[in-house]
Amino acid sequence: MASSTQEPSSSSTSIHRYNFEVFLSFRGEDTRTIFTDHLFVNLGGRGINTFRDDQLERGEEIKSELLKTIEESRISVVVFSRNYAHSKWCLDELAKIMECREEMEQIVLPVFYHVDPSDVRKQTGSFGEAFSIHERNVDEKKVQRWRVFLTEASNLSGFHVNDG
């Protein structure tokens, strides 16, 4: 794994080490073989050290390792797809990504894959359906936190993929 160093803003005196240039957050069942694999291969072909979840070491505790990897990434690409918000796992990743954006100035690039950014922002459409379920099964504070982070992420400049 390649490491790079970034000088933090003047308000901090520590140096942050990155093990990955890019962390990919996506719902595998929606995009793994039709979009995310191609993105991963193309980034790697350009020499960009990219992490996706199939790179975890066997035997590692998955959730803590993923959250650590997000912290060790310079950029997070979040691929919002139809079923992204149905996954508590994806929403927890997004929460960590947005925390790293705030605390470590991580760059976050949203990709809206066959979803309308306003559905992500307002939690309507399939995102609204997912939250109807989460509101019955998940702690209210956690659901509210996910909603805030989805809105923040959808307000970032990103990419909208409708075809291909």
Residue numbers annotated as active site: 93
Q: Residue type for 74, please?
A: R
Which residues fall within 8 angstroms of residue 70, CB to CB, at 6 or more apart? Answer: 23, 76, 93, 96, 97, 100, 106
Q: Residue type for 1, please?
A: M
The C-alpha atoms of residue 162 and residue 164 are separated, in whole angstroms, by 7
CB atoms within 10 A of CB 42: 11
